[in-house]
Structure 1
């Protein structure tokens, strides 16, 4: 079917992860990779052709999908990310692309024996993808496949420890432990059905897919080094190795892997130079015509083939997987406040009344918040503007423990978890549900809602690591060196700059007023509009 040419916008972004740093402090974390991101909005486009060419050379791809959550039915997938090669990610916009032209190419990709598919809990993504493409046959399997959760477990030395890790480790946490930097997940719940996609959304989606390749590289290097994959020498003894493409097609007894690779590479060259229409047919042998494959791929090399053979998995969807599960909590009674569902009560009221830090109720007058795991980034931003913002004692606290901590320390809980709003132990004016998704917007929302007073003198006055306060008197270089022994490394380049050092009274982290400090100060002056 001929596709009419559409006007498209092709965007390429250099991706870097922004970090919230109060002052310059030494860290061993590496920076995330810079990527080329291709936004694909039309099958009759240069970007789609680049995608096709990339998949003919790829042996491993990272897959991820984004969707807008809905109730009672499967959500429609809005974006599919395919990471290929060292630094390239393709973001397929399903709200712009014709699904009828994508169903067969994607089906071939999902089952191609020459391409290892990487994912993070990709079975759920496949269920939603199959539902999105239900009128075009859907999808029922992905193989060969390898889940990053399994990769992470193998990288752990203790199976028991790995099993426990699998239950709680997010992709961001795994990325931090394996690669040395964490991923921001604040855009995961953004509106993926809204167009055009923002640069931040495309950046987030691309990084989520490409990071799978980076984790897999660490895994592959480890299993080869440890001898989990035994390499065998390949002897190229086939007498047909010097034959041309025409002779290779006539030879029906080809068994050597190298010859098959040569054959497919040559076929890909023929297709690339003769046509770009995925529905075109090409001659395979005398008197035989066959529809060409959407993406002609090259067989895996020996090392990857053995990795797949030993660790590869398969996702297979059953009929029951393709039907939305009915909720088992339909009959559960909702907590009520004067006959009103508790979460709706808090949602409608927003924030009213007396704060727990108000002197009238025994507080000290200083705003204090408790940010749960969903708004940890907001906690660091609040600390940067001088506001006391704690996090839970444990990484995955029970709701009751979170509420008890807030009561004990006279804090207001900040969250995006609607379920937490209906907990029985909550009291009035103890929780606020943050509506914004981005950290900067969340910060402004909290400042406006609670009428917080922010001034330039309070910027960078708290430790972003632990929420502690700094010592009143700055340290000299000699005092800082002594304080850092066995605890923290101070770069040698700072010794001759006559800088003042500050130390957190709680965790003893050292900070200094370098370039990053001044940049951070200016950033929050601009966000809070303190210069107006």
Structure 2
């Protein structure tokens, strides 16, 4: 069933899969890196254990390019590092990472760079990548945006996820369902490719919002006494003649002449120093980007200590099998042992009920879609005791992917299960199989996906729905002539109707649960 509202989308981009250096896609990548002022970079790898002695191998590198204004294209390149000969692309990437003509964007990219450097070193590209500059972390962009919106009050260091930042800055819901999928497996699904491209593209979209804010503030800035400024100050003015910035610093006479042409009269004496050209990249940033890079930009520098995996300092007593007590305990309760609290043999009512912790909240919605009672924690950041108390009180099985919670199995025996699958569809099938749930077609979309409540048994007419929705929900005018039936949640009063989204969802779960067989 549908409710009102449409999800916004990220900027539409062309996605190029790069798996060969003599392909048109690679040629286009090389061209775009020399014609881009800003790029967003991200990397993906197979999920790994934190205690392993080597870094994971990066399987995919995403580069989203914001080309100069003379191009209308917004390409995202997905570099398949599992098949590309890494030495053949090392120089291209290395030059881009240190080019002062390209502002690099990332989200906590230092770890990605460590893994990326290790991956290239393993194929003979020693010493690998050691720096990225100029670099701007999207967490810093978000902090500055929040700072401007908070009337000058100091903003604490941000620790929000990229999905949260996208939601707040762009109004875009960025799904992270595929984040922990196996990126080393080939071929990647179209959903994985779209997810990877969106992760890089959203960096550019967030930065565009930030740049627009900087430009707006720069245009309102009062500029006075330009003739008395030194060259350093002149270069920092956002509307300064770009002729000044297009000159090589070593050409002192040209710089002076260009400055004199824009600011006739008194010119302070300057001393020009030779500098190296910027890595062979022919295009240069415009004035606004230079200003942003100087004021807000940073750089990532890897130290020798960064190139060594950090092993956990916590050590437990190991048995002869080489496992700690906690590891053995987790293993012993990893599989479901039953019976669940709703089982008739233990006095239950026969109705399955689950509590999905924050690590599997997406699974809760899928369970609701197939008619299963699936609650989420009462608070956004519940403690272990809160989860245990809620599961006990409501007689639910706690579903989680947090192995630490399994050590509390003695407190809620037969009421905790660790979900092994990573993707929501597979998680749903795993829970159905493990707990032998019976799913039938008439159960589909029979619960409120918003709050887990049940629907009022009698459907509402359009007139009744309009009256019931007053004050909190808008019924689209296009539905008035379709003679639809509406359903209302008894708990949150949310209205649903059997529109296109409803029928698509029903068909989806018929396929996922194999109800046609």
Equivalent-residue separation in structure 2 for 1:343 and 1:315 (angstroms): 38
Q: Do structure 1's residue 99 and structure 2's residue 86 form an aligned pair?
A: yes
Give 1:520 deviation, angstroms: 1.3
Matched residues in 2 for 1:228 and 1:416: separation? 50
Following superposition, the deviation at residue 362 of structure 1 comes to 3.6
Report the secondary structure of 1:299's partner residue.
coil
1:308 paired with 2:293, answer: yes
CA distance in 1, matches of 2:359, 2:217: 38
How far off its partner does 1:52 sit?
A: 0.7
Q: Distance in 1 between matches of 2:477 and 2:471?
A: 16
**1:73 maps to what in 2?**
54
Q: Which residue of 1 aligns with 2:214?
A: 223
Matches of 1:96 and 1:365 in 2, distance apart? 52
Aligned to 1:37: 15
SS of 1:314 mapped into structure 2? strand
TM-score, structure 1 normalization: 0.80
Equivalence for 2:470: 485
Specify which of 509, 514, 517 is matched with residue 524 of structure 1. Answer: 509
361, 366, 371: which one aligns with 1:376: 361
Structure 1 Cα separation of the partners of residues 318 and 388 of structure 2? 21
Identify the residue that residue 111 of structure 2 maps to in structure 1: 124
Do 2:336 and 2:417's aligned partners in 1 also have CA atoms closer than 8 Å?
yes
Q: Which residue of 2 aligns with 1:203?
A: 194
CA offset digits 1:7-48 (Å, max 9, x no partner): xxxxxxxxxxxxxxxx22111531344432211112222111
8 Å CA contact 2:101–2:281 kept in 1: the answer is no
User: Which of 374, 384, 397 pairs up with 2:382?
Assistant: 397
Superimposed CA distance per residue, residues 426-480 of structure 1 (whole angstroms, 9 cap, x where no aligned partner): 5332222222222222212211111111111111111111111111222222222
2:156 aligned residue: 163
Whole-Å separation in 2 of the counterparts to 1:235 and 1:218: 24
Name the CA distance, whole Å, in 2 between partners of 1:180 and 1:221: 16
Q: Distance in 2 between matches of 1:228 and 1:190?
A: 45
Secondary structure class of the residue paired with 2:32: helix
> Post-superposition shift, 1:420?
2.8
Shift of residue 294 of structure 1? 7.5
How many residues align structurally?
A: 466
Q: Please tell me whether the aligned partners of residues 52 and 295 of structure 1 are also in contact (alpha carbons under 8 angstroms).
A: no
Kept in 2, the 8 Å contact 1:111–1:142? The answer is yes
Which structure 2 residues correspond to residues 10-159 of structure 1 after superposition, within 5 A? 23-27=1-5, 29-68=7-46, 69-70=48-49, 71-85=52-66, 87-134=74-121, 135-136=124-125, 137-156=127-146, 157-158=149-150
Given the superposition, is the C-alpha separation of residues 131 and 468 from structure 1 closer, same or farther in structure 2, using an over 3 Å criterion?
Answer: same
Q: State the secondary structure of the residue aligned to 1:92.
A: strand
Tell whether the 8 Å contact from 1:43 to 1:97 is kept in structure 2 after alignment.
yes
- Tell whether the 8 Å contact from 1:55 to 1:297 is kept in structure 2 after alignment: no
The DSSP-based 3-state class of the residue aligned with 2:116 is helix
Q: Give 2:419's match in structure 1, choosing from 430, 434, 448.
A: 434
Contact 1:58 1:297 in 2 (8 A): no
3-state SS of 1:309 partner: helix
Select between 108-117 and 313-322 the one with higher mean Cα deviation: 313-322
Q: Tell me the residue number matched to 1:468.
A: 453
Cα deviation for residue 79 of structure 1 reads 1.2
2:99–2:279 contact (8 Å) kept in structure 1: no
Ranges in structure 2 where 5+ consecutive residues have no aligned partner: 67-72, 222-236, 260-276
In 2: Cα distance, 1:485 partner to 1:295 partner? 63
The answer for unaligned runs of 5 or more in structure 1 is: 1-22, 242-247, 260-291
Q: Identify the range of structure 1 (47-56 vs 389-398) with the bigger mean alpha-carbon deviation.
A: 389-398
Relative to structure 2, which stretch is displaced further, 192-201 or 316-325? 192-201
Q: CA deviation at 1:333?
A: 8.6
Alpha-carbon distance, 1:170 to partner: 1.0
Q: Which residue of 1 aligns with 2:284?
A: 299
Corresponding residue number in structure 2 for 1:214:
205
TM-score under structure 2 length normalisation: 0.83
Contact kept in structure 2, 1:356 and 1:430, CA below 8 Å: yes
Please give the per-residue CA displacement for 1:143-192, whole angstroms capped at 9, x wherever unaligned: 1111111111222234779526x22x211111122222222222222222
Give the direction of change, closer, same or farther, for the CA distance of 1:171–1:332 in structure 2 (3 Å limit): farther
Write the distance in 2 (CA, Å) between the matches of 1:394 and 1:367. Answer: 22
**1:235-266: per-residue Cα shift (whole Å, max 9, x none)?**
4778x99xxxxxx9x9885449999xxxxxxx
| Structure-2 separation of matches of 1:501 and 1:433 | 37
For the Cα contact (< 8 Å) 1:502–1:510, is it kept in 2? Answer: yes
Distance change (3 Å), C-alpha of 1:258 and 1:362 = farther
Report the alpha carbon displacement of residue 293 of structure 1 after superposing the two structures with TM.
Answer: 8.4
- Counterpart of 2:336 in 1: which secondary structure? coil
Q: Secondary structure at the match of 1:89?
A: strand
The answer to whether the 8 Å contact 1:341/1:422 transfers is no
Equivalent position SS for 2:34: helix
Find the counterpart in structure 1 of residue 232 from structure 2.
none
Corresponding residue of 1:446: 431
